[in-house]
Structure formats: structure tokens, C-alpha cells
């Protein structure tokens, strides 16, 4: 949402609160909700793509080389990628959840 | 040309939906509403109504389905009662916030528990604040007419809000009454084609039913509230156009023998007919009694009601539901707050009648008025109301 929209009066809100700019949820950066960040260890990765499939916010994209790339603008830090990672079975999850405070 | 035919009120309601040329009907059967959607399913199956009939697995799904179909620009109808309305509850608020002009008939029935299939208004009063236009009808003709009126008003771009037509379960829904029907040409003239303000359209995509941060929610609610209040202008216009078409005139508040009346009864729905017989009897005995009938419940017709109630010394408000633990019951609470500033302030008596299908007789109204004539002055103690007929 833009600062212009934030100043909308009730008369300026479209009828039924319709968003006339569809697909605009990508403008809403949910990464700010995160308290923990998944940190990727490429050496553990077998390029299975399970993290990409399980991510509930589509915040993981696969690089052309077949590795996951976390979109930190949207990742809420739920940790599902770290838990579901096949390599986690062997105690070698590709992702370690690290407190955001560590990055400040 | 219009003709008078005898039919069950539920069937007449379904015929009105057919005349309105609904595009989508999604409903789940529930007593005492079932005959409405049962007949509609027959009309669709027989090819008499070119509509999509969606058999759903619950009322939650029924309301969700018509939210979707209305958003796609289809004229959408559903019907329910009691537990079914309760199951729709969360979607009711979404439909009104999204400003989708769905029309629904509610064959009013008591809420469980204990399980009761019989008539009172506890179902709609539990969903009172859902933001829909809400009518209460008194007889079969009014029920038939108000399905058409509800579509005409709801879909008007000045309104774009859903509407509930409340008709009392069994005591109205299952009666066989004379109805003057409209023909297709008259109905088409009265209800113009549905031209939604917003529509789900792949060529012009929009996002509907999205979330709102605290930056927007208040403004959205204000817009919705203003729309419902402003809908009154179009409701009056809808009634006026209907009167020009059929000669049948409706108003938000109707009065019966109120001239010179010291005591007024106020009722909603089918009990108005019984109450009017009681008024006739009491007038014959020289008692200064009149009746005020509330046809429009939301938006609440404050000005009309003030005018209709003005001058009465005592007002007996009939409620068909208990608001448990409240200062008073739903209709009485509204009337009391409306009259608070009037001078002199009339005494208000609140009677809860006909819960869970308990029969209400002419004699009951006579007894209520008799008690009010002898009764105390307003304001009484908190929670002071009569539960008519309760065995002590």
C-alpha cells in the first residue's frame, strides 16, 4: 500500500473494499514478522526441492543451479523448511534457524 | 396479467425467485425453509428456471457459494432457518462487507437448544448485526412481493448490499394463502438486469475479499454503515415503483387503528395479523388501542417509528426472542433507546411471546394490553419483561 492509499477517507475506499490493483500482496513485505531466519548450508543440499514445495508462503525459489534461495522480504521464519529438509533425517538440515537479533 | 392463486407461501417465494430470474441458487435444506429450495430445485430441473442449482453440504457452504456467484456477477439466492443461519453466521458479515447483493429468505425458527423446529425470531436476532438489509413480512403476499423488492433494492448500484426477507416459519411459510403473482414481463420491468459495481472478470482482474490493516478497517466499516443507512432511500423507491406496478403499497412502518390510541402494540412479522384482530376486538369494547408494525428492521426506520409512536402514553413491544441477561430484549431495547429523548416519554412494556412455536392467540394480546393499562411506569427494573404464557 502506498502513502497515498493510507490517507484515503472512507469515501475514497472502493465499494466492497475491492483492491483494483490485483496481485498487490507482493507489495506487502511480510518478512518483518520474522523472529528467526533460515540460514542455508549449501554443502548439505541434495537439491531435492522439498523446502521449495513445503514453504507455505512461496518464499523459497529454486535457482537455475537447483538450489533453494530464500526471499527474506517475505519469509516469516516459520522453520518448516528446516524441519522438512530431507537431510534433517541425518541431522544435516540445509537450514539452521537463527535468531534475527544475530543479524542486527 | 396478474391473477390470484392459492398456494403455499414457500412455493410463492420460490415462484418469486423464478420471476426474478435468479442465476444461481445454492442452498441446504432445513425445516421450515425446505419447501422454498425444494420447489426451486424442481423449477431448475424441469427447465422452468435457467439457473445453476448448487447442492452444497452445509449452510456455511451455501452462503460461501453465493458469495462467489454474486461476486462473479450472477443474481444469487439462498434460503435458510435457525441452525442453518447460525452456521452461515461468519459468511453473512463477509457478504455485506464485500457489498454483494445476495437475497436470502429466512423462515424464522427457534435456535437450539433444546432442539426446536418451531417459529420464533431467535435465529435472526443472533445475526442481527450482520449488515444486511432486513425485512419482516406479515403474510404470503408480502413474502412473495418482498423477494422481488429485495432483489430490486439490493442490486441497485446506489445500494449493493445483501438482503434478508424474514418470514415466520410454519405459521407463515407453510400456510396456503391467496397470492397475486406477477408475470415475467412485469417482473423484468421491475428488476433491471444485474450490473455489479465490481465483478470477478479475468479480463479486468481485481482482488475481492482481501484483508485490511488497521489503516483501512475503520474506513471500510464506515463506508458499509453509511451504505446501509443510505439504502433507505432506495428501499422507499423500490416500494414506490412496486406500488406503481401492482397497486400494493408498502412502508417501513405500518399503523393500524393508531389514531387516538393511548396504548400501542408494536410487532414484527406474522403476529401482526393476530394482533390486528385483537385491536379490532378491543376497539369494539371502547379501548384506545392501536397497532404499529415494523416491516423494515435494518436499516432501522427511526424517524418513521418516532412518528408512528408519537403521542402514545404506553407502548407494548412484542419480542420473539430473549436477549439473555440484557437490559431488555432486542426490539424493546431499540424502541426504548429511540424514545429516550421524547417528551413526555411513554411507558414501555416488553412482552416476549411465541417462543419455540408457542401458540399466540388473540386473547394473549388482549391480556397483554390489559396488564399494560394497569401497569407501572417506565423505566422499570432492569430485565423487567413479561414472558407470556410461561408456567410459574
| CATH code, A10 | 3.30.70.20
Task: Looking at the structure, tell me whether residues B170 and B227 fall in a common domain.
Answer: yes
Residue in the structure block whose three cell numbers are 412482552 = B351
Contacts of A10 in chain B (CB under 8 A): 218-220, 222-223, 226
H and E: helices and strands count for chain A: 3, 4
Residue in the structure block whose three cell numbers are 520474522 = A34
Q: Are B288 and B262 in contact (CB under 8 A)?
A: yes
Task: Looking at the structure, tell me whether residues B240 and B260 fall in a common domain.
Answer: no
Which of B141, B262, B204 lies closest to B149 in space, CA to CA?
Answer: B141
Q: Do B216 and A8 touch (CB under 8 A)?
A: yes
Of B214, B246, B278, the residue at which a domain comes to its end is B246
Task: Looking at the structure, tell me whether residues B207 and B350 fall in a common domain.
Answer: no
Query: From the CA of B143, how many Å to the nearest CA of chain A?
Result: 28
d(CA A15, CA B224): 8
Joined together, the cell numbers standing for residue B174 give 407453510
Domain count for chain B: 2
Residue B312 — pLDDT band, cuts 50, 70, 90?
Answer: very high
Burial code (b: 16+ CB inside 10 Å, e: under 16) for B60-96 equals bbbbbbbbbbbbeebbbbbbbbbbbbbbbeebbbebb
Q: Does residue B392 lie in a domain region?
A: no
pLDDT of residue A77: 97
Q: Do A15 and B197 touch (CB under 8 A)?
A: yes
Query: From the CA of A77, how many Å to the nearest CA of chain B?
Result: 21
Of B191, B221, B246, the residue at which a domain comes to its end is B246
Task: Looking at the structure, tell me whether residues B241 and B259 fall in a common domain.
Answer: no
Q: In chain A, whose CA is at the least distance from the CA of B214? A: A6
pLDDT digits (tens, 9 = 90+) for B65-101: 999 999 999 999 999 999 999 999 999 999 999 999 9
Q: Which residues pair with B306 in a beta bridge?
A: none
d(CA B107, CA B124): 10
Look at residue B1 and tell me whether its pLDDT is greater than 70: no
Look at residue B2 and tell me whether its pLDDT is greater than 80: no
**Strand extents, DSSP E, B11-56:** 24-27, 52-55
Q: Do A22 and B207 touch (CB under 8 A)?
A: yes
Of B213, B246, B279, the residue at which a domain comes to its end is B246
Q: Does residue B354 lie in a domain region?
A: yes
Q: Do A19 and B197 touch (CB under 8 A)?
A: no
Q: Do A16 and B213 touch (CB under 8 A)?
A: no
Judge whether A104 is closer than 8 Å to chain B, CB to CB. no
Look at residue B387 and tell me whether its pLDDT is greater than 80: yes
Average model confidence (pLDDT) across chain B: 95
- List residues of B whose CB lies inside 8 A of any A CB: 97-100, 160, 197-198, 205-208, 210, 212-213, 215-216, 218-220, 222-223, 226-227
**The 3-state secondary structure of B309-376, one letter per residue:** HCCCCEEEEEECCCCCCCCCCHHHHHHHHHHCCCCCCCEEEEEECCHHHCCCCHHHHHHHHHHHHHCC
Q: Do B97 and A19 touch (CB under 8 A)?
A: no
Q: In chain B, whose CA is at the least distance from the CA of A13? A: B220
Q: Do B160 and A17 touch (CB under 8 A)?
A: no
Domain limits at A43?
A: 3-103
Which of A2, A1, A5, A21 lies closest to A13 in space, CA to CA?
Answer: A5
Q: What is the DSSP code (8-state) at residue B340?
A: T
Judge whether A58 is closer than 8 Å to chain B, CB to CB. no
The CA radius of gyration of chain B, in Å to the nearest whole number, is 21
Task: Looking at the structure, tell me whether residues B305 and B202 fall in a common domain.
Answer: no
Residue in the structure block whose three cell numbers are 402514545 = B312
Task: Looking at the structure, tell me whether residues B237 and B259 fall in a common domain.
Answer: no
What count of other Cβ atoms lies within 10 Å of the Cβ of residue B360?
24
Q: Are B95 and B127 in contact (CB under 8 A)?
A: no
Judge whether A6 is closer than 8 Å to chain B, CB to CB. yes
Q: Are B153 and B236 in contact (CB under 8 A)?
A: no
What count of other Cβ atoms lies within 10 Å of the Cβ of residue B154?
28
Judge whether A4 is closer than 8 Å to chain B, CB to CB. no
pLDDT digits (tens, 9 = 90+) for B98-115: 999 999 999 999 999 999
Residue B376 — pLDDT band, cuts 50, 70, 90?
Answer: low
Task: Looking at the structure, tell me whether residues B163 and B263 fall in a common domain.
Answer: no
Q: What is the DSSP code (8-state) at residue A26?
A: G
| CATH code, B18 | 3.40.50.970
Domain limits at B118?
A: 4-246
The CA radius of gyration of chain A, in Å to the nearest whole number, is 18
Task: Looking at the structure, tell me whether residues B174 and B26 fall in a common domain.
Answer: yes
User: How many whole angstroms from its chain centre is CA B285?
Assistant: 33
Task: Looking at the structure, tell me whether residues B262 and B118 fall in a common domain.
Answer: no
Q: Does residue B123 lie in a domain region?
A: yes
**The 3-state secondary structure of A7-19, one letter per residue:** CCCCCCCCHHHCE
pLDDT of residue A52: 97
| CATH code, B311 | 3.40.50.920
pLDDT of residue B332: 95
**Strand extents, DSSP E, A1-104:** 36-40, 60-62, 68-70, 95-99
User: How many whole angstroms from its chain centre is CA B143?
Assistant: 9
Q: Is the peptide bond before B160 cis (omega within 30 degrees of 0)?
A: no
pLDDT of residue A76: 97
Which of A61, A24, A66 lies closest to B205 in space, CA to CA?
Answer: A24
pLDDT of residue B383: 54
d(CA B124, CA B86): 9
Contacts of B226 in chain A (CB under 8 A): 10
Q: Does residue B347 lie in a domain region?
A: yes
Q: Do B220 and A6 touch (CB under 8 A)?
A: no
pLDDT of residue A28: 85
Q: What is the DSSP code (8-state) at residue B111?
A: P
Task: Looking at the structure, tell me whether residues B208 and B306 fall in a common domain.
Answer: no
Judge whether A11 is closer than 8 Å to chain B, CB to CB. yes
Q: Do A17 and B216 touch (CB under 8 A)?
A: yes
pTM score of the predicted model: 0.92
d(CA B77, CA B123): 19
- The percent of residues above 90 in pLDDT, for chain B, comes to 90
If phi over 0 gives left and psi between -120 and 50 gives alpha, with beta otherwise, what is residue B131? Answer: left
First to last CA, chain B: 55
Q: What is the DSSP code (8-state) at residue B207?
A: B
Where chain A has pLDDT below 70, the residues are: 1-3
pLDDT digits (tens, 9 = 90+) for B139-180: 999 999 999 999 999 999 999 999 999 999 999 999 999 999
Q: In chain A, whose CA is at the least distance from the CA of B161? A: A16
Joined together, the cell numbers standing for residue A31 give 518478512
Domain count for chain A: 1
Look at residue B214 and tell me whether its pLDDT is greater than 70: yes
Mean pLDDT for B309-331 is: 93
If phi over 0 gives left and psi between -120 and 50 gives alpha, with beta otherwise, what is residue B209? Answer: left
d(CA B184, CA B165): 21
Task: Looking at the structure, tell me whether residues B170 and B313 fall in a common domain.
Answer: no
- The percent of residues above 70 in pLDDT, for chain B, comes to 97
Q: Do B205 and A22 touch (CB under 8 A)?
A: yes
Q: Do B206 and A10 touch (CB under 8 A)?
A: no
d(CA A99, CA B40): 59
Residue of B157, B207, B210, B224 to mutate, testing the A interface (most A Cβ within 10 Å of its Cβ): B207
pLDDT of residue B382: 46
Task: Looking at the structure, tell me whether residues B173 and B216 fall in a common domain.
Answer: yes
Q: Are A27 and A1 in contact (CB under 8 A)?
A: yes
- B99, B219, B226 member nearest A16 (Cβ): B99
Contacts of A14 in chain B (CB under 8 A): 198
Amino acid at each position: 500500500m502506498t502513502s497515498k492509499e493510507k490517507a484515503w477517507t472512507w469515501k475514497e475506499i472502493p465499494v466492497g473494499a475491492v483492491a483494483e490493483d490485483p496481485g498487490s500482496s507482493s507489495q506487502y513485505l511480510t518478512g518483518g514478522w520474522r523472529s528467526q531466519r533460515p540460514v542455508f548450508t549449501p554443502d548439505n543440499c541434495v537439491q531435492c526441492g522439498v523446502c521449495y514445495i513445503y514453504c507455505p508462503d512461496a518464499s523459497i525459489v529454486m535457482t537455475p543451479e537447483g538450489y533453494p534461495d530464500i526471499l527474506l522480504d517475505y519469509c516469516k521464519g516459520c522453520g518448516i523448511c528446516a524441519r522438512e529438509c530431507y537431510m534433517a533425517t541425518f541431522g544435516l538440515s540445509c537450514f539452521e534457524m537463527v535468531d534475527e537479533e544475530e543479524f542486527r | 396479467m396478474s391473477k390470484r392463486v392459492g398456494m403455499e407461501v414457500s412455493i410463492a417465494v420460490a415462484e418469486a425467485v423464478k420471476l426474478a430470474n435468479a442465476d444461481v441458487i445454492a442452498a441446504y435444506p432445513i425445516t421450515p425453509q425446505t419447501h422454498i429450495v425444494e420447489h426451486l430445485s424442481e423449477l431448475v430441473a424441469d427447465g422452468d428456471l435457467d439457473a445453476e442449482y448448487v447442492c452444497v453440504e452445509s449452510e456455511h457452504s451455501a452462503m460461501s457459494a453465493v458469495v462467489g456467484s454474486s461476486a462473479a456477477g450472477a443474481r444469487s439466492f439462498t434460503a435458510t432457518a435457525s441452525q442453518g443461519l447460525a452456521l452461515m453466521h461468519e459468511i453473512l458479515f463477509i457478504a455485506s462487507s464485500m457489498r454483494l447483493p445476495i437475497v436470502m429468505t429466512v423462515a424464522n425458527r427457534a435456535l437450539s437448544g433444546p432442539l426446536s423446529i418451531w417459529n420464533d425470531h431467535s435465529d435472526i436476532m443472533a445475526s442481527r448485526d450482520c449488515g444486511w438489509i432486513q425485512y419482516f413480512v406479515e403474510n404470503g403476499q408480502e413474502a412473495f412481493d418482498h423477494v422481488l423488492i429485495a432483489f430490486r433494492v439490493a442490486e441497485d448500484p446506489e445500494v449493493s448490499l445483501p438482503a434478508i426477507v424474514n418470514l415466520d416459519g410454519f405459521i407463515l411459510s407453510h400456510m396456503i394463502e391467496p397470492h397475486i403473482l406477477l408475470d415475467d414481463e412485469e417482473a423484468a420491468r421491475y428488476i433491471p438486469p444485474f450490473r455489479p459495481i465490481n465483478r470477478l472478470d479475468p479480463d479486468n482482474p481485481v482482488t475481492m475479499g482481501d484483508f485490511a490493516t488497521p489503516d483501512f478497517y475503520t474506513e471500510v466499516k464506515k463506508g458499509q454503515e453509511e451504505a446501509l443507512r443510505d439504502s433507505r432511500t432506495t428501499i422507499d423507491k423500490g416500494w414506490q415503483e412496486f406500488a406503481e406496478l401492482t397497486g400494493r403499497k408498502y412502508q417501513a412502518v405500518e399503523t393500524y387503528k393508531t389514531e387516538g390510541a393511548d396504548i400501542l402494540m408494536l410487532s414484527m412479522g406474522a403476529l401482526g395479523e393476530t394482533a390486528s384482530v385483537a385491536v379490532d376486538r378491543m376497539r369494539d369494547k371502547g379501548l384506545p388501542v392501536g397497532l404499529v408494525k415494523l416491516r423494515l428492521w435494518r436499516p432501522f426506520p427511526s424517524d418513521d417509528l418516532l412518528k408512528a409512536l408519537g403521542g402514545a402514553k404506553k407502548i407494548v413491544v412484542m419480542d420473539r426472542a430473549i436477549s439473555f441477561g440484557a437490559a431488555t430484549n432486542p426490539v424493546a431495547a431499540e424502541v426504548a433507546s429511540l424514545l429516550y429523548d421524547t417528551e413526555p416519554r411513554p411507558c414501555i412494556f416488553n412482552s416476549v411471546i411465541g417462543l419455540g412455536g408457542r401458540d399466540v392467540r388473540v386473547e394473549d394480546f388482549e391480556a397483554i394490553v390489559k396488564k399494560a393499562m394497569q401497569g407501572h411506569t417506565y423505566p422499570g427494573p432492569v430485565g423487567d419483561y413479561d414472558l407470556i404464557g410461561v408456567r410459574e
